[in-house]
Amino acid sequence: MRKTVLFILSVIMTIPLYSRVIKTNKKVQRALPQKLPRLEEPVYINTFGADHRFGPITQHSNRDGHFFSTLIDSSLNGYGPYNPTPNPLAYALDEGYVAAYRQFQGLNATAGYIGASQSEDGEEWFTEQTLNTRYPTGEEEPDLPTATGTPQGRYPSAGFAPGGNPTAIWNEYTNTDHGGGTYGGYPLYTYDSQGIGEFSAWVNPFHMNNGCNTTPCDPMDLWISNSYVNTGGDTPTLTAIYAGWSDTPANYYWINSNFHANGYFLLNDPYVMASDAETDDNGDYLWYDFGNYTSSPDFHINEDGVGYMGQVSYTLNSDFEAPYSHTFFFKKTEDFGETWTSDGGHFNSGYEYISDETLVRLTDSLYTMFSNNPEDYPEQLWYPWAECDSIDEATGDSLTYSCGDSIYYSNVGGASFLTPGLFMYYDFDVKTDSDGGLHFVTVAVPYVCPDSVGGCEDSNGDGLVDSLYLEGRFGSGGHYYFYNPDPFDQPNNWKLTLINDLSETYYADWATSDIPHINSDSYPPQYYFFPEITFSGEDGSQVMWYAGYEGSAFTWSEDTMFYYPQDIDIYMKKSPDFGATWTELENVTNTPGGIFPDKQLECGIHLASTGADDHVGIFFQMADFYTETYPPATGYEDYMNRVYVGVYTNDAGGSGGGDVGTGNEEIAPTKFVLKQNYPNPFNPLTQIQYDIDKSADVTLDLFDIRGVKVKTLFSEHHQAGSHQYTLDGADLASGVYFYTMTANGISKTQKLVLMK
């Protein structure tokens, strides 16, 4: 069994007398997860007649609110932006936005057309059709070197920088005698010679890979571009990483420009800048198990040419020597990617990393803060020694009692406890600030150790906990933000923040719901709901923006004992000071989940390449569940998806001195909202507040942790407005419960904890 260096306080070995007990029929994960294999898109099947009915269109707020969106186009499916690699929305300060995406051209057309849309204000958009009907090698539709003779564009990114031209970057799925390899990956770019605005003149595409000037391409089969256009000194610079799909183990190719004129980039030849088969100075492999636990790289370079490329991985010898953790490794450039660090760091590889000691120190500090202040962090996991305050109802005296967490899983014969450390998954975002600081936000979950089977012990005295399990479903799993202002010269100067807790999303049973995401039958949602960060482009600014999408409504099924997700929304926040402080997390879309097929799910989100101090753009898609384009659908990517760009405004920390809008100033509710009970945990009374936007028959049910219905708290007719219910838990046992409210056919669920 793999191990991680952990330093466990002796107190963690003691089971508290009155802990917060979590008992679940869900199993704890024993095997550490490998990275997700690359997804081969299914073949499009048209099953529609001429009278096909498309689903309704969602509108998000309006220009006077803190968030509004514009429906700019549609895509035949949702596979273009489903992972974090592409960058489909670019923004140049004071000039405007450019979006690149796969474009719907009718139910009888290919899914592979590339479209672009641009806007000066994020509100009025102008769309250009089918940018990829002609290849640089001279072929044109319907005689392109693809299986159908039609365009087969994949994974588009947008590029736009001050003083530059709107740019679209993607790869084509061509015949193997054209792009080479198994899937014929053929990377291209094009630009609008007219610049930003209503009138467009997109030129015929150019090669991104100089090795495609003669076919088949060399290097061959390049896919899934991670691309940017940013200001490099006095001129725009194009930088990109492509995955070599046919390379085993996987290689990742770096491409950058050395000249720019009027939208055209002169590009350097691709070279391998990262590989699953990378070796150290001794010729030994760098990564564990030939890269099966190694993420694809992400990178970002600032306007001075300073930047970082990062990967999450185990090292080859992580079973035997530090670093033992699945941690973050990174290289640095100071010349726009012309060169990267190639010596020093781990085994003189040029990679620095977050050490075990640093990761343990950071997480222990964070978990200790949660455990010392349980009333302030009721949704987080606590160490077993955590104590809560209460009032003796008979005497009025203050009482202190143990409330630390003990988790009992269906496949472990006893209690498991929170322990320092994190497991980082494979989706993350890297950004470099204007001062050269490294910002890294990742999907991660804490570890627990099973004390009942000796898993919290160090039986061989090597300083390692004997058994580690991943746990993100009962608090403290989600998006973690790391920051180091100078990670090479100050390798231990990291700061850590849990920027968004997604534990409820991780708990939900996506594969069995009516809104599964792709691969949900084999991979948990930690692989899907990725985070995004970006900076303001204003001079001297320290403003950062965060966005994530996640489940926002859930319900229990008494028949199946599954916890079903009902909705997905976009959540955002802002930091005015490079991550030192953040505004409150805000659900910016907050659309109702609805009943299938009338669901409103915002997915595949991507922040713009930059923002401003008080606003930022975000690209996202919404599935039309009336239009299934890849039957039988295994995820909402298998439907036609509508393409949106939203603009989120927040002047916190700026000249306006404002805070995140909460909507509390509205006179009447505009939608059905079930709020988190307060206090939580509670004993024995707690308040449940809820808003309904129109009169309805309202039912409130209480379920235990297994999903078994305990009782109906009430079922009665309510008028529109804000309401409150007092739950008395005097006759209930201590533990975790869920309360589900149903009104007008919509159900919403929240979790509560009773501690006596």
161: which DSSP letter? -
Structure tokens at 187: 């990377």
295: which DSSP letter? P
Instruction: Check residue 461 and give its pLDDT.
Output: 54
Sign of the alpha-carbon torsion through 456, 458, 462, 466: negative
Domains in the chain and their CATH numbers?
A: 1-41+296-389+400-507 (no CATH), 44-76+518-662 (no CATH), 86-283 (no CATH), 673-754 (2.60.40.3080)
- Residue ranges of alpha helices (H) inside 146-188 are 176-179
Collect the ranges in the chain with pLDDT lower than 70. Answer: 1-19, 62-65, 233, 453, 458, 460-464, 654-670
Structure tokens at 673: 């909202």
Q: Residues 610, 534: contact at Cβ < 8 Å?
A: yes
Full-model pTM = 0.86
Instruction: Check residue 399 and give its pLDDT.
Output: 81
Instruction: Check residue 65 and give its pLDDT.
Output: 66
Structure tokens at 589: 């879309």
The C-alpha angle 488, 446, 326, rounded to 5 degrees, equals 45
Instruction: Tell me how far apart the alpha carbons of residues 446 and 381 are, in angstroms, rounded to a whole number.
Output: 9
Structure tokens at 303: 């306007």
Instruction: Check residue 670 and give its pLDDT.
Output: 55
Structure tokens at 730: 């005097």
Instruction: Check residue 557 and give its pLDDT.
Output: 86
Q: Residues 424, 443: contact at Cβ < 8 Å?
A: yes
Instruction: Tell me how far apart the alpha carbons of residues 421 and 468 are, in angstroms, rounded to a whole number.
Output: 10
Which class for 287: exposed (0-12), middle (13-18), buried (19 or more C-beta within 10 A)? Answer: buried
Residues sharing a CB contact under 8 Å with residue 524, sequence separation 6 or more, in sequence order: 33, 506
> pLDDT of 657-688, one tens digit each?
333 322 223 334 557 888 888 777 778 888 88
Instruction: Tell me how far apart the alpha carbons of residues 586 and 18 are, in angstroms, rounded to a whole number.
Output: 34
